[in-house]
Amino acid sequence: MNPRSSKGAGARETSVSVVVGAQFGDEAKGKITDYLAGRARYVVRAGGGPNAGHSIHLPEASFVLHQVSTGVLHEGVTGVSGPGMVINPLLLEAELAELREKHVFKGEFVISERAHVILPLHPIEDGWEEGIRQQRSPANAVGTTRRGIGPAYADRYGRWGIRFADLVRPKLLQERLGLLYASKAHIPGLPAESETLATLGEVAGRLAPFVRPTEPMLWDAVAKGERVLIEGAQSALLDVDFGTYPFVTSSHPTSAGAMVGSGIPPQELDEVIGVTKAYATRVGAGPFPTRAEGEIAEFLRTAGGERGATTGRARDTGWLDLVLLRYVTRLNGFTSLAVTKVDVLGGLEEVPVAIAYTTPSGEKLTDYPPAVAEELNQVRPVYQRLPGWPEFTGRLRERIQREGVHALPSQLRHFLRFVTEETGVPVEWLSYGPMRDETLWLGRGATAHTALPSWSA
């Protein structure tokens, strides 16, 4: 098989797409992925674990996906929990059971044999490490979800980790687990090794039918020109290398990370869709240059329902930050943008947008933030205030359902064109509510006047 053969003719439709969060997470990228998933053959979750939460609102039910991709919500689509993930098998079983109980499990589901296992000891280690940071100073706390993500990735790169390929091989599992426990003797309060082995042995038997070599499956799909959608967890500004370190996650929720975490060669990537809210939020610790205060912050939090899907923690709220958006646009190679939650800002007289920073020394920054979190925390945003758009009433929503882009308020169109002009990337998707059908395709290059969209029917 020549994996490039289908592409060589130059006539193939878009096959491989990646959805990347363009802010600090919680951009409603799960909703955008779900909207696109029905047109895919495979939907791959490429990184992270149960620290991520994709809120999905369907007529049948509302729920949160943590370790399962949105592909399982669509008939004829396979959801892949990919090789770049760290997966808690006990939580995974509970998640699959909930989806079945709510009658929304409609596709197929597989787990990469190369994905790593979050063990019962990892959340304990996670809390212990965060405690050390807090003992030194509350400012050192990184705001971990304490789900064991960081320790599981640390074991992965330290070559102590246990993969699903090991989990379903009892003898190998016992050997690997003994070695791992030997490396953890300094951590207090861990469960007994024998107890962990017994727990893993039980869950391994139940999950074994789902464990597959997923890379050949995806390579074949790409060669056939079938659509593969890779969904990000967390977001680009939480990337362990390129985010607001150390207030980041432990993986690479960028377009490059998506290719590594799926096993698909980078030359097969056709489009990268960046998802951004019309404003901004952040949950947990770390710098947030455009953070709002007082009544407007509470308005955004309440109107936007801004609480973490996984932790339930209230999110800090603020304004769209074009310095950071320009940065992640170049970092990920966005080919289009999806702007979400425009309905939340409906009714405001004006919408502030940060177009630059000034540093304490007087330097002006427009497209590259300071690498040091403490320095990013000291910048002052320079705002441009755009006209607000009308409230998203039931009547306006109905008009958008009937008339599409022509029903959008002129002020909102101006906002979208402004974002495109400032980033150089067209806004092609718009979300104006939590439901799947409250999503509007604007057209390929809609705010840049180019061709038709690759995801059209």
Domains of the chain (ranges; CATH) run 14-113+213-441 (3.90.170.10), 116-209 (1.10.300.10)
Which of 35, 44, 425, 92 has the alpha carbon at shortest distance from 257? 44
Low-confidence ranges of the chain (pLDDT < 50): 1-12, 449-457
SS3 57: strand
Among candidate residues 26, 34, 166, 343, the one labeled active-site is: 26
Can you give the pLDDT at residue 449? 43
Q: Take residue 284 and report the two structure tokens written for it.
A: 């947990």
CB 247 within 8 A of CB 143: yes
Can you give the pLDDT at residue 424? 97
Can you give the pLDDT at residue 13? 62
Dihedral sign (CA 401, 402, 403, 408): negative
26 belongs to the catalytic site: yes
Which of 213, 223, 279, 280 has the alpha carbon at shortest distance from 3? 223
> How many angstroms separate the first and last alpha carbons of the chain?
28
Can you give the pLDDT at residue 311? 65
Residues 6+ apart with CB under 8 A from 36: 17, 19, 229, 273, 455
Can you give the pLDDT at residue 310? 63
Biggest alpha carbon distance in the chain?
Answer: 66
Among candidate residues 54, 66, 122, 252, the one labeled active-site is: 54
Which of 391, 393, 386, 400 has the alpha carbon at shortest distance from 431? 400
241 belongs to the catalytic site: no
Can you give the pLDDT at residue 455? 40
Can you give the pLDDT at residue 443? 87
Dihedral sign (CA 98, 24, 229, 444): positive
Can you give the pLDDT at residue 143? 77
Can you give the pLDDT at residue 281? 97
Mode of pairing for the β-strands spanning 86-87 and 62-65? unpaired
Which of 403, 423, 380 has the alpha carbon at shortest distance from 291? 380
Q: CA 152 to CA 133: how far, in whole Å? A: 18
